[in-house]
Structure formats: structure tokens, C-alpha cells
Amino acid sequence: MRYPAVAGAFYPSGEGQLRKDVEKSFLKGAGLPELGDKKNLLAVVSPHAGYMYSGWVAAYAYKEIAENFSQPPTFVILGPNHTGRGSGVALSQEDWETPLGVVHNDKELGQLIQKNSKILDFDEAAHEGEHSVEVQLPFLQFLYKNARIVPICVGLGDYGTAEDIAHAILKASQAAKREIFVIASSDFTHFEDAQSAKQKDELAIKHIERLNAKNFLKEVEMNDMSICGYAPIMVAMVYSQLKGGKEAKVLKYANSGDVTKDYHEVVAYCSIAFPK
């Protein structure tokens, strides 16, 4: 079992308060989610800061998920490696616990993803103190009683790695005949003034909208951008292209100053949808 690492820090440690905070995140802007079956969505980008800062932005991505899936697919959740521990690309085979209960790991799908990849390792060490996957789970639990996940921690940021993972996910889902959905966990520009952060992020987002992962990576590297989950975002872009996606659309862009009212040094957040 992978136990919570950031309950009581990034989100409340009590079940009742956590449920209220997730609900408040939806009510702040996106509106409460309603389950539907549009089935017109391949992936999302969702932020992973403390809920008071980015939960309301993440809610836009999860409302979109809810409207597209009345029954949960398996969620392949990719987050960056903030801790530096463990393998360069680490797939967890544990069930994950949050204050809202246990989210079960789709071990069969995870094994197929690892088998179809040249670089993925089964490794729990990379996930031990890492928050980027964990903070997504209460949103899924708020929507679904029985969601299953495959958590992947991505510490390598080259295009070849993203391409390998995306192909492995696609091949595994076809072999398992499993409906799957990709969540890329990422914050955007860190610790710049709000105007500078927005200008930088817009340069990167235009490539995301066109599903041009190589140009997105060039932009990130050329401008020394602090988008922490740029590698998971690339996986979502390549995967969406492989599934026939043509574009991505921004659902909500905001920054920590929208909460603190201090716009001199912000962290930016963005929810992005990848339609079929």
C-alpha cells in the first residue's frame, strides 16, 4: 500500500474536510460535475499544488472527465519526479490510499505498459514522497467509487522518453482491451511575476494546443521554463496524436496570485483538455 505523503499539507487529512474542499474547488469556478458519456476526451493536464491554490483550476479538468465518463476508465496518471529518488521512469504497482479510501492499482495494465516500454521500471521509491500523482486522487474519488489507476513518475525529460511511454500505454490498452485515460500532472511557470509567467506559458501552451511535442520541448528548453511536468505533458500530447487527436484546448489558466493577491512571485496553473 502506498500511504498518503502530503495529506494535511497539500490537502486536508480528514475525510469530511477533504470532501468539502474538493467540492469547494468545483464550486469556485467550474461548477459541480455531472457524470455523462460524451466519450470525446483522450487526456487532460491538471495542476498539483496545494488545493487552496490550484484545486479550483484542477476542477475544470475533472469536470471534463466526469462529463465524458459515467463509468471510470483506468486512469494512467503521470507526474514529474520532484524528489529525485528512484528510477528515471517509475511505475507503481501498489494500491494508493488517501483520506477518502483506497484507489486500486490496475496491475495488469501496468505490467503490460512496462512490458511494451524500453525504459519503464517497476519502482516504488520514486513515488514515496512525491505529491504530483497523489493530489489527483481525491478528485477521482470524489467522482467515482471504483476508479483504478496506473501511477507513473517521470524523471526524464527528453522527447524519446515521452514517445516510448505514450506508445507503451497505447499498446497496453489495446492488448488489455481496456478503456484508459491519461492524466498529466503539472504546474506551469514558477516564482516569476504574473505577467512574465503568463507570457512564458503562452509560448508553451500554443505548442500544446497544436499537439507539437517537439516544439513544446524546444520552447521549454530555450526559455529555461519552470514547467515541472513538461515530460508528462509531452506524453499526453504524443498519446493523443496516436489516438487521432488533432488539438488541445485550455480549460482554465490562473496563478497563485489569484488566491493570495500577491502577483509579484506566482506559480501558474493550467487545466487542458485533449479531445478526440
Alpha carbon distance 102, 89 (integer Å): 24
Four-point Cα dihedral 159, 205, 219, 261, nearest 10: -120
Alpha carbon distance 270, 250 (integer Å): 7
pTM: 0.98
Q: How many domains does the chain have?
A: 1
Q: For 212-233, how does the pLDDT look when each residue is reduced to its tens digit (9 = 90+)?
A: 999 999 999 999 999 999 999 9
Q: Is 4 inside any structural domain?
A: no
Q: Which domain holds residue 255?
A: 38-275
Q: For 99-123, how does the pLDDT look when each residue is reduced to its tens digit (9 = 90+)?
A: 999 999 999 999 999 999 999 999 9
Q: For 164-187, how does the pLDDT look when each residue is reduced to its tens digit (9 = 90+)?
A: 999 999 999 999 999 999 999 999
DSSP designation for 184:
E
CATH of the domain at 79: 3.40.830.10
Q: Give the residue-averaged pLDDT of 30-59.
A: 98
Q: For 46-75, how does the pLDDT look when each residue is reduced to its tens digit (9 = 90+)?
A: 999 999 999 999 999 999 999 999 999 999
DSSP designation for 84:
-
Alpha carbon distance 151, 114 (integer Å): 12
Q: Is 20 inside any structural domain?
A: no
Alpha-carbon dihedral sign for residues 119, 124, 130, 131: positive
Q: Is 57 inside any structural domain?
A: yes
